[in-house]
């Protein structure tokens, strides 16, 4: 599963402005809805439902909110670098500043899990996260994400 099949340059937000977890999820849902044509509220509700099961703040300043939507034709991602770290109720209780939103069709099954695993591997790389945090433009962030594919191959 390539990161570049999940995220395109227009799905990279270099300075997401949010002061709370809910606001970050709302902004990500709004962006995803604009790109996919899905209903913004439906995307937001799926993300909130998943958060109720347990936080997607995986630690080290990273969150991977995710969910499944019937109307989605393929796996879809949005990467955001927050303007300021926010409380995301992460498992390590540290604020989050890097978010990778992953949406999948309800029929995705194993592909959804493979995509989650790929995103998780990418963001477990401390060096990669340092580079992402030091980069402030969408094009440069996308280039880093795309370059991670070459390293993983």
- Is the Cβ–Cβ distance between 58 and 64 less than 8 Å? yes
Strands, E assignment, 17-95: 57-59, 62-63, 66-69, 76-86
Cβ contact 85:96 at 8 Å: yes
CA distances, 11 to each of 25, 59, 133, 141 (Å): 14, 23, 17, 10
**Active-site residue (options: 21, 31, 66, 118):** 66
First to last CA, the chain: 11
Separation of alpha carbons 78 and 76, rounded Å: 7
Task: Please confirm, yes or no, whether 31 is among the known catalytic residues.
Answer: no
- Mind telling me the catalytic residues? 66
């Amino acid at each position: 599963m390539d990161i570049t099949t999940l995220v395109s340059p227009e799905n990279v937000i270099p300075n997401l402005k949010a002061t709370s977890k809910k606001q970050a999820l709302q902004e990500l849902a709004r962006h995803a809805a604009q790109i996919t044509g899905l209903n913004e509220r439906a995307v937001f509700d799926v993300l909130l439902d998943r958060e109720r099961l347990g936080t997607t703040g995986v630690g080290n300043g990273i969150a991977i909110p995710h969910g499944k939507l019937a109307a989605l034709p393929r796996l879809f991602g949005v990467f955001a670098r927050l303007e300021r770290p926010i409380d995301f109720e992460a498992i390590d209780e540290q604020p989050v500043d890097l978010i990778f939103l992953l949406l999948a069709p309800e029929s995705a099954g194993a592909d959804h899990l493979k995509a989650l695993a790929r995103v998780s591997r990418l963001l477990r790389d401390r060096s990669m996260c340092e580079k992402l945090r030091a980069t402030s433009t969408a094009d440069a962030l996308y280039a880093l994400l795309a370059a991670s594919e070459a390293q993983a191959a």
